[in-house]
Amino acid sequence: MELKVVTQDGVTVVNFIGKLDGNAAPLAQEGIMPYLISGCRLVIALPKCDYVSSAGLRLLLMIAKQLTTQGGSWGIACASDEIKDVMDMTGFNTFFKHYPTVTDAVNALKGEGKC
């Protein structure tokens, strides 16, 4: 798992690259924690993430809870159909807004606080 972080129109975009499984989730958590600040606008981009395990889902839930308590806003962009299906089946789709592209996500979030 690799994280690539960029800022686009004042929104932090974190690209998850690789598998988000039990081995990668702790490293991904360590990498994303500095960006989970008060009022943060965060896009989790998954175009190069081909697998999310239960540990990965827990990490996504932790991100959602952390940002909720800090008044942040977030969304997921470019999730594969398989990842969307897993989120639908587990109810995780209720925690995240899904966007087809990073640009769509950034446009939706850029007026909602700062990061």
Instruction: Return the H-helix or E-strand segment holding 12.
Output: strand 11-20
Q: Is residue 21 in some structural domain?
A: yes
pLDDT, tens digit, 9 for 90 and up, residues 11-24: 999 999 999 999 99
Instruction: Say how many domains are in the chain.
Output: 1
Q: Is residue 25 in some structural domain?
A: yes
Predicted local distance difference test score (pLDDT) of residue 112: 65
- At a CB cut-off of 8 Å and minimum separation 6, what does 104 contact? 77
| Residue pLDDT tens, the chain, 115 long | 899 999 999 999 999 999 999 999 999 999 999 999 999 999 999 999 999 999 999 999 999 999 989 999 999 999 999 999 998 999 888 878 999 999 999 999 987 655 4
Predicted local distance difference test score (pLDDT) of residue 94: 84
Per the structure, the complete domain to which residue 56 belongs is given by 2-109
For the entire predicted model, the pTM comes to: 0.90
- At a CB cut-off of 8 Å and minimum separation 6, what does 44 contact? 14, 16, 60, 63, 74, 75, 76, 77, 96
Q: What is the CATH number of the domain that holds 21?
A: 3.30.750.24
Q: Is residue 88 in some structural domain?
A: yes
Contact 47, 16 (CB under 8 A): no
Taking the C-alpha atoms of 42, 48, 50 and 56 in order, what is their torsion angle to the nearest 10 degrees?
-30
